[in-house]
Amino acid sequence: MAPVIRIDGSVADPTAGTVRIDWPKAVWNGAMLLGTACAIALATWQSVLLFLALTYATLLIGHSVGMHRMMIHRSFKSPRWFARILIYIGTLVGVSGPSGIIAIHDIRDWAQREPACHDFFAHRRSLFQDLVWNLTCRFEFDRTPVLTIESKIADDAFYQFLDATWRWHQLLIAIVLYWIGGWPFVLWGICARVFVSAAGHWTITYFCHNPGPGRWQVKAAGIQASNLPGLGLLTYGECWHNNHHAFPESARIGIEKGQSDPGWWIIRMLENIGLAYEVGRPRGNKARGDLLDLTQDQRSNS
């Protein structure tokens, strides 16, 4: 598959700018954190089980499969009606609407693939500061890259509706959860789920960009990614981030033997029943001129 290019950074500088408080983001995530504290005080085993199931399902199906692999990287296609379902589930994760997720991801990805970038994108500060930045702040560029989202998303009335109303969709779920299980279900199924989803996402992102095990190096990129062994099931396969930096076109992220990838299992199931097609795999050896295979270098030096 052709690479997805939405950023024109020709006049931008990924190292120059200021981290500023983003009040809507800070208030939203702060409210979810407060609700999580209340949830702990009212915990029941049923509400905690609900939290675990909803958190895993929405992140796996909506964020990893729908928003990340399908919408952002176009590593597979689905019928329009089904793609909308996947992206709607991704919106329910509670981080942003479709266009917001694309902007967060693509600007960060562009900055990391430049020779140098600000610590806000590089995850070089402490875990605590990185979490505070990403849950409460935005980066204000001195010279901003131009983001162009393809018309099938930017001009789609349904996705525009999600962009404008994404926070309010939690209210619909909250009403159902209150009817089923009262306030413990609401606090665990909304507040704790949204906060843990956002904080957990950035925690994995932080460790995936503080280098550890990884086979591939992207030649021109200032920031390299790591794989996190043993976390495939917990992270839906997103922990194999070194693979993903090397092969963003691949719907399968856990590409090596023993790399569990639940997101890929879902996509393969969808492919088998006709709901996923044009499924991307890692590009062939002749198209890997931008990569260094560090395992080959290790073998040649041994």
* Euclidean distance between CA atoms 183 and 38, whole angstroms: 10
60 token code pair: 């796996």
Residue 255's SS3 state is coil
Q: What is the mean pLDDT of the segment spanning 139-148?
A: 96
Identity of residue 181 = G
Split at pLDDT 50, 70, 90, the class of 302 is very low
Average per-residue pLDDT for the chain: 95
Give me the pLDDT at residue 292, please: 94
Q: How many CA atoms lie within 13 A of 45 on its CB side?
A: 0
> Residue 120 pLDDT > 50, yes or no?
yes
pLDDT at 271 over 80: yes
Q: What is the mean pLDDT of residues 42-58?
A: 98
Quick one: what percent of the chain has pLDDT higher than 90?
A: 93
Confidence of residue 201 (pLDDT cuts 50, 70, 90): very high
14-28, 116-130, 213-227: least confident range: 213-227
Distance of CA 205 to the CA centre of its chain: 8
DSSP string, 134-183: HHHEEEEESSPPEE---HHHHT-HHHHHHHHHGGGHHHHHHHHHHHHHHH
**Could you report the per-residue pLDDT of 205-247, keeping only the tens digit for each?**
999 998 877 899 999 999 999 999 999 999 999 999 999 999 9
Q: Is pLDDT above 60 for 297?
A: no
Q: Check the CA dihedral 280-284-286-291 and report its sign.
A: positive
